[in-house]
Amino acid sequence: MSSSLNTLFLAGQCLPPVTPPGTSWITQPTSPHTFSTPPLSLPESSISSDLTFPCSRVGELNFSCSYKRDREEQKRTLGLILLQADESLEEDAKVLIPSSGARLHHVRIPSSLEVSEESLLALKDDIGAAASRFPASGKFDSIAFCCTSASSVIGSRQVEAIIRANCRAQLRCVTNPLVAAIAAFNVLGVTRVGLVSPYVASVNVALIKAFKENDIEVTHSGSFGQEEESKVARIDEESLVRACLELYEDSKKNSEKKFDAIFMSCTNLVTLGAIPRVEAATGLPALSSNLCLCWHMGVQAGGGLELDIEALGGTNMLLQRSLELDIQAVGETSILLQKRLFQTP
């Protein structure tokens, strides 16, 4: 029914609208869906709770229902705390994490359009409020704070503490891209990394320091020098592959500084297409914030939740190594992966 239909329909009766005393009637232009009839005029005393129109009462049915038992479908429940400016992680998570195996819940926090150490640190104030917005009745296997650089600036321990203190749902595990990357490096036996970052060098300092504190040395690094998130999300696949290969060729000039893997930092980078190409060209594991994060959430969820390897061209060194090690549950990974930043509940 058109919103311009200036009339009331009750129990089969078409009545003109009521105009309160003192309100003038303005005739609307006549059209197939409007009426120029003046409204029903009622004395002021009539406009009260006693004002009724005849109507027929529809019979109401009472339905019964049953409830699914928790985990009846063997699905895991995962939560993502995304930055407002992030345009990429949501899509990657949908592609990598099969919907048949997990439910994904998302909340977003305000974030600056430009990236700096100050803007990253400011995100800390909104993490708790975001964590509190997940369904209180939920049972979450893992909740992730989805920003690599902010995790290094704020500190992974503090990020986890804020999420646990504010989440109203049952929560088993917490992660972020920094923790996830370190866990992935440990599974692959990686101790030296080539870092590809979209951001200016000053933003990368905290990340490189966090890696070093966990026995991961960044031997080579390169950056696209971007300060705007909207541009980061639009760096194309060819540019990303070319950057990784340039970094790889540069590392070969000094055998003592060769790295064991390439890491593409930032959840806003579109990396899934680049990863298999870089691995094929270099023979080294190619990792990204989004791949590591989704993989780590799957590990934390346990129960054999596996990522869709077809989304990575049917082959991937991290996922294949995980299968070889039969990493299926948090209890098993706690021995294999534990580092100062990797905590099991």
pLDDT surpassing 60 at residue 273: yes
Task: Give the mean pLDDT of the chain.
Answer: 82
Task: Please check whether residues 277 and 197 belong to one and the same domain.
Answer: yes
Query: Which pairs from 232-235 meet CB under 8 Å and 24+ separation?
Result: 232/115, 232/198, 232/199, 232/266, 232/268, 232/269, 233/86, 233/87, 233/88, 233/268, 233/269, 233/270, 235/198, 235/269, 235/270
**236 lies in the same domain as 147:** no
In this predicted structure, the answer to whether residue 278 has a pLDDT above a threshold of 70 is yes
Strands (E), 133-227: 139-145, 170-175, 192-199, 217-226
- State whether 99 and 141 are in the same domain: yes
Looking at the structure, tell me whether residues 192 and 321 fall in a common domain.
yes
Per residue in 199-219, pLDDT (tens digit) is 988 889 999 999 999 999 999
Same domain, 187 and 233: yes
Query: Rounded mean pLDDT of 168-176?
Result: 96
Of 177, 193, 209, which residue sits at a domain end? Answer: 177
Count of domains for the chain: 2
Domain finish residue from 162, 177, 192: 177
86 and 195 part of one domain: no
Summarize the confidence of residues 133-157 as an average pLDDT: 95
The residue type found at 143 is I
**The pLDDT value given to residue 14:** 44
Instruction: Average the pLDDT over 78-96 and give the result.
Output: 95
Q: What percent of the chain has pLDDT over 90?
A: 61
Strand partners, 195: 221, 263
Are 187 and 171 contained in the same domain? no
What gap in Å lies between CA 292 and CA 198, rounded to an integer?
Answer: 17
Burial class of residue 23, CB neighbours in 10 A (0-12, 13-18, 19+): exposed
Query: Do 146 and 214 belong together in one domain?
Result: no
Give the Cα separation of 143 and 236 in Å (integer): 29
Residues 100 and 185 in one domain: no
Report yes or no on 223 lying in a domain.
yes
Report the run of H or E that residue 244 belongs to, with start and end: helix 237-251
By the 8 A CB rule, do 206 and 153 touch?
yes
The pLDDT value given to residue 269: 97
Residue 343 reports pLDDT greater than 80: no
| Inside any domain, residue 151 | yes
Is 208 contained in some domain? yes
Q: What is the CATH classification number for the domain harbouring 220?
A: 3.40.50.12500
% of the chain with per-residue pLDDT over 70: 75
**Coil, helix or strand for 139?**
strand
**Do 195 and 311 have their domain in common?**
yes
339 pLDDT band (50/70/90 cuts)? very low
Please check the confidence at residue 32 and state whether its pLDDT lies above 60.
no
Per-residue pLDDT, 254: 82
Q: What is the pLDDT of residues 70-80, one digit of tens each?
A: 555 568 999 99
Q: Is the pTM of this model over 0.85?
A: no
Contact 81, 134 (CB under 8 A): no
Mean pLDDT, residues 254-258 taken together: 82
Range of the domain at 207: 180-337
Domain termination residue (choose one: 145, 177, 209): 177
